[in-house]
Amino acid sequence: MQTYKAPLRDMRFVLHELIDAGQLAKLPGFEEATPDMVDSVLEEGAKLCEEVLLPLNRSGDEHGCTYENGVVRTPPGFKEAYKTFVEGGWLAVSATPDHGGQGLPELLSFVFDEMVCATNLGFGVCPLLSKGAMALLETHGSEQLKKLYLPRLADGRWSGTMCLTEPHCGTDLGLIKTKALPTDRGTYRVSGTKIFISAGEHDMSENIVHLVLAKLPNAPSGTRGISLFLVPKLMPKADGAPGARNGVTCSGIEKKMGIHASATCVLNFEDAEGWLVGEPHGGLRVMFTMMNAARLGVGLQGLGIGEIAYQSAVAYAKERRQGRALAGATEPAQPADPIIVHPDVRRMLLTQRALNEGARALGYLVALNIDLARRHPDADKRLECDEFVQLMTPIVKAFFTDCGSLAANLAVQIHGGHGYIREHGMEQLVRDSRIPQIYEGTNGIQALDLVGRKLGQNYGRLLRRFFHPAEAFVADNKDVAGMAEFIEPLAKGLERLRNATLSLAGRAMADPEEAGAAATDYLKLFALVSVGYMWARMAKVALEKRGEADAFYDTKLKTARFYFSRLMPETGSLFATVMGSKKSLMEMTADEF
How far is the first Cα of the chain from the last one, in angstroms, to the nearest whole number?
43
Q: Verify that 568 and 469 share a domain, yes or no.
A: yes
Is residue 400 in a domain?
no
Is residue 69 domain-shared with residue 197, that is, in the same domain?
A: no
d(CA 328, CA 333): 13
- For residue 459, pLDDT over 90 is answered with no
pTM equals 0.96
- Verify that 163 and 145 share a domain, yes or no: no
Looking at the predicted structure, is the pLDDT value of residue 590 above 90?
yes
Find the mean pLDDT for residues 453-467: 92
Contact 93, 156 (CB under 8 A): no
CA distances from 168 to 163, 174, 177, 189, 193 (A): 14, 11, 9, 22, 10
Same domain? For 168 and 146 the reply is no
**Domain co-membership, 110 together with 211:** no
328 within a domain of the structure (yes/no): no
Same domain, 463 and 576: yes
Q: Is 440 a catalytic residue?
A: yes
For residues 137 and 247, membership in a common domain is answered with no
Q: Tens digits of per-residue pLDDT, 157-170?
A: 999 999 999 998 87
User: Would you state the pLDDT for residue 559?
Assistant: 98
Output the CA torsion 463→466→467→470 (10° steps): 180
Domain end among 103, 118, 152: 152
Tell me the CATH number at 91.
1.10.540.10
- The answer on 224 and 189 residing in a single domain is yes
* The last residue of a domain, from among 99, 120, 152: 152
pLDDT of residue 115: 98
Amino acid at 493: G
Catalytic residue among 440, 485, 548, 587: 440
Lowest mean pLDDT among 220-224, 334-338, 423-427, 485-489: 220-224
Considering the domain boundaries, does residue 370 fall inside one? no
Residue-wise pLDDT tens digits, 174-199: 789 999 999 999 999 999 999 999 99
What pLDDT is recorded for position 457? 87
**Last residue of a domain, which of 281, 297, 322?**
281
Give the CATH number of the domain where residue 249 resides: 2.40.110.20
Please report whether residue 384 resides in a domain: no
Is 298 within the bounds of a domain?
no
Instruction: Give the pLDDT score at 422.
Output: 93
Q: Is residue 371 part of a domain?
A: no
Share of the chain above pLDDT 90, in %: 91
Q: Classify residue 108: in a domain, yes or no.
A: yes
Residues 455 and 562 in one domain: yes
At residue 223 the predicted structure's pLDDT band, cuts being 50, 70 and 90, is confident
Tell me the average pLDDT across 221-246. Answer: 94
Evaluate whether 524 touches 576 at the Cβ level (below 8 Å): no
The strand pair at 226-232 and 207-215 is best described as antiparallel
Q: Mean of the pLDDT values across residues 367-384? A: 96
Residues whose CB falls within 8 Å of the CB of residue 443, separated by 6 or more in sequence, listed in order: 397, 398, 401, 402, 437, 520, 523
Comparing CA positions, the residue from 114, 118, 107 lying closest to residue 18 is 107
| Pick from 2-11, 284-293, 469-478, 537-546: least confident | 284-293
Q: Is the domain of 189 the same as that of 213?
A: yes
Residues 6+ apart with CB under 8 A from 112: 41, 42, 45, 90, 93
In a domain, 387, yes or no: no
Same domain, 145 and 217: no
The reported pLDDT for the residue numbered 238 is 87
Given a cut of 90, whether residue 3 has pLDDT beyond it is yes
26 and 133, same domain (yes or no): yes
Average pLDDT over residues 242-255: 96
State the total domains in the chain: 3
Containing structural domain, residue 69: 8-152
| Mean pLDDT computed over 188-211 | 97
Would you state the pLDDT for residue 291? 87
Note the pLDDT of residue 100. Answer: 87
Question: What angle (nearest 5°) sits at the alpha carbon of residue 134, between those of residues 129 and 140?
Answer: 120
The 10s digit of each residue's pLDDT in 527-586 is 999 999 999 999 999 999 987 778 999 999 999 999 999 999 999 999 999 999 999 999
Q: Which of 89, 207, 220, 87 has the alpha carbon at shortest distance from 148?
A: 207
3-state secondary structure of 74: coil
Rounded to the nearest integer, the mean pLDDT of the chain is 95
Helices first, then strands: H and E counts in the chain: 19, 11
- Looking at residue 84, its pLDDT comes to 97
pLDDT reported for residue 8: 98
